[in-house]
Chain A
Amino acid sequence: MSQSIQKQVSLPERGHRIFDMVRKFAHGAPEFEVSLISTAGEYLRFGNNELGQSQFTKNRTLSVRVASGKKQARTTTSRLDESFIRETVEKAVAQLGTAPEDPDYLPMLGQQKYQTVNRYHTRTMEESAETKAGYVGKAIELARKNKLLASGVLGTSMDEGLILNTAGLESYYRGTGGNFSLTMDADNGNQTGFALSTFADISELDPDKVSQTALERAKLNRGQSEVSPGKFDVVIDPYAWSEMLFFFIVSASAGYSPDFGMRQYKEGRSYLSGRLGEKILGENVSLEDDVYHPLQVGPTFDGEGYPKSKLTLVEHGVLHSLASSRISAHRYEDALPTGHELPLPNPLGESPVNLVIRGKGPTRTIDELVGELDKGLLITRLWYIREVEPRTKTLTGMTRDGTFLVENGEVKKPVRNLRFNQSLLELFSNVEKFTEPVRNTSFGGPGLLQPGILAKDFNFSSVSPF
Chain B
Amino acid sequence: MNSTRDLGEQLAKVCLETASLDNATYADMRLVNTVIETVSMINENPATEESNDLGAGIRVVHQNAGWGFASTDELDPENIRETTRKALSLARGAAKIGSRIALAKEPVHVANWESPRKKDSLTVSTETKFEVLKDATSAMKAEGVVARRGQIISTKIEKYFANSEGSRIYQDLAQTGAQIVVAAKGPSGIQRRSDQQYALEGYELVDEMDLTGKGPVLTKEVLELTRAPGLQEGRSDVIISADQVGLQVHESCGHPIELDRVLGYEANFAGRSFLSPDQLGKLQYGSEHVNIVMDATLSHGQGLGTFAYDDEGVEAQRKYAIRKGKLVGYLMSRGTSQSVGEMRSNGCMRADTYQLPIIRMTNVSLEPGDWDYDELIEDTKDGILMVSNYGWSIDQKRYNFQFNCEKGYRIKNGSVGELIRGPGYSGITPEFWNACDAVCNKKSWVLWGTPNCGKGQPQQVMGTGHGAAPTRFRNIRVFGA
- Chain A residues with CB under 8 Å of chain B are 1, 41, 43-61, 63, 73-79, 84, 88, 91-92, 95, 98-100, 102-104, 129-130, 133, 136-137, 140, 149, 151-153, 155, 181-183, 185, 188-189, 192, 194, 251-255, 257, 267-269, 271, 273, 345-348, 383-391, 394, 396-398, 400-401, 417, 419, 421, 444, 461-466
Quick check: is B70 within 8 A (CB to CB) of the other chain?
A: yes
Chain B min CB distance to A229 (Å): 11
A73 to B130, CA, bound (A): 12
Give the contacting residue for A57; candidates B189, B191, B276, B458; CB below 8 A: B458
Q: A185, B264: Cβ atoms under 8 Å?
A: yes
Give the contacting residue for A419; candidates B47, B67, B426; CB below 8 A: B426
Given A76-B50, A181-B457, A419-B402: A267 touches B93 (CB 8 Å cut-off): no
Q: A52, B99: Cβ atoms under 8 Å?
A: yes
Which of B67, B426, B458 has the most C-beta atoms of chain A within 10 angstroms of its own C-beta?
A: B458
Q: A255, B147: Cβ atoms under 8 Å?
A: yes
Q: B190, A345: Cβ atoms under 8 Å?
A: no
Give B63-100 as 1s and 0s: 1 = Cβ < 8 Å from A's Cβ atoms: 00011111111100000000100110111011011111
Q: 23 A-B contacts, Cβ less than 8 Å apart?
A: A48-B267, A50-B99, A53-B358, A55-B355, A56-B87, A59-B53, A60-B73, A73-B49, A74-B50, A78-B52, A79-B54, A99-B48, A129-B89, A155-B457, A181-B457, A252-B391, A253-B192, A345-B48, A347-B42, A396-B404, A398-B393, A464-B400, A466-B397
A53 to B72, CA, bound (A): 16
A133 to B91, CA, bound (A): 11
Q: B71, A56: Cβ atoms under 8 Å?
A: yes
A396 to B392, CA, bound (A): 9
Closest to B430 in A: A465
Which residues of B have CB within 8 Å of A102? 45-46
Which of A92, A130, A151, A155 has the most C-beta atoms of chain B within 10 angstroms of its own C-beta?
A: A151
Closest to A97 in B: B127
Q: A1, B190: Cβ atoms under 8 Å?
A: no
A76 to B52, CA, bound (A): 6
Which residues of A have CB within 8 Å of B53? 59, 61, 76-78
Which residues of A have CB within 8 Å of B98? 49-50
Quick check: is B126 within 8 A (CB to CB) of the other chain?
A: yes
A136 to B457, CA, bound (A): 15
Give the contacting residue for A99; candidates B69, B130, B149, B426; CB below 8 A: B130
Q: A255, B397: Cβ atoms under 8 Å?
A: no
Chain B min CB distance to A425 (Å): 13
Quick check: is B112 within 8 A (CB to CB) of the other chain?
A: no
Which residues of A have CB within 8 Å of B390? 252, 387-388
Q: B395, A269: Cβ atoms under 8 Å?
A: no
A99 to B45, CA, bound (A): 11
Q: A79, B52: Cβ atoms under 8 Å?
A: yes
Q: B70, A384: Cβ atoms under 8 Å?
A: no
Quick check: is B20 within 8 A (CB to CB) of the other chain?
A: no
Q: B45, A129: Cβ atoms under 8 Å?
A: no
A49 to B267, CA, bound (A): 11
Given A54-B69, A388-B424, A390-B190: A267 touches B43 (CB 8 Å cut-off): yes
Chain B min CB distance to A47 (Å): 3
Q: A189, B271: Cβ atoms under 8 Å?
A: yes
Given A55-B69, A389-B481: A347 touches B47 (CB 8 Å cut-off): yes
- Of B179-187, B317-325, B467-475, which stretch is located at the interface? B179-187
Given A48-B263, A149-B264, A254-B147: A189 touches B397 (CB 8 Å cut-off): yes
Closest to A192 in B: B267
Q: Lowest 7 CB-CB distances: which A-B pairs, in order?
A: A47-B265, A98-B127, A347-B45, A347-B42, A189-B272, A54-B90, A254-B147
Q: A464, B71: Cβ atoms under 8 Å?
A: no
Which residues of B have CB within 8 Å of A398? 393-396, 400
Which residues of A have CB within 8 Å of B48? 73-74, 95, 99, 345
A397 to B481, CA, bound (A): 14
A394 to B71, CA, bound (A): 41
Closest to B394 in A: A384
Quick check: is B41 within 8 A (CB to CB) of the other chain?
A: yes
Q: A98, B126: Cβ atoms under 8 Å?
A: yes
Which residues of B have CB within 8 Å of A254? 146-147, 149, 181, 183, 190, 192
A76 to B73, CA, bound (A): 14
Q: A129-B90, A389-B481 are in contact. List 10 more A-B contacts (CB 8 A).
A: A48-B264, A53-B265, A59-B73, A61-B53, A76-B49, A102-B46, A383-B271, A385-B393, A388-B391, A464-B400
Closest to B358 in A: A53
Closest to B355 in A: A57
Which residues of A have CB within 8 Å of B217? none
Give the contacting residue for B481; candidates A47, A137, A345, A388; CB below 8 A: A388
Quick check: is B232 within 8 A (CB to CB) of the other chain?
A: no
Q: A100, B459: Cβ atoms under 8 Å?
A: no
Closest to A137 in B: B97
A231 to B237, CA, bound (A): 28
Quick check: is B268 within 8 A (CB to CB) of the other chain?
A: yes
Closest to B38 in A: A74
Quick check: is B51 within 8 A (CB to CB) of the other chain?
A: yes
Q: A400, B190: Cβ atoms under 8 Å?
A: no
Which residues of B have CB within 8 Å of A130? 93
Q: B73, A51: Cβ atoms under 8 Å?
A: no
Q: A55, B189: Cβ atoms under 8 Å?
A: no
Q: A396, B393: Cβ atoms under 8 Å?
A: yes
Chain B min CB distance to A299 (Å): 20
Chain B min CB distance to A63 (Å): 8
Which residues of B have CB within 8 Å of A389? 189, 422, 481
Q: B70, A55: Cβ atoms under 8 Å?
A: yes
Which residues of B have CB within 8 Å of A269? 146-147, 183
Quick check: is B356 within 8 A (CB to CB) of the other chain?
A: yes
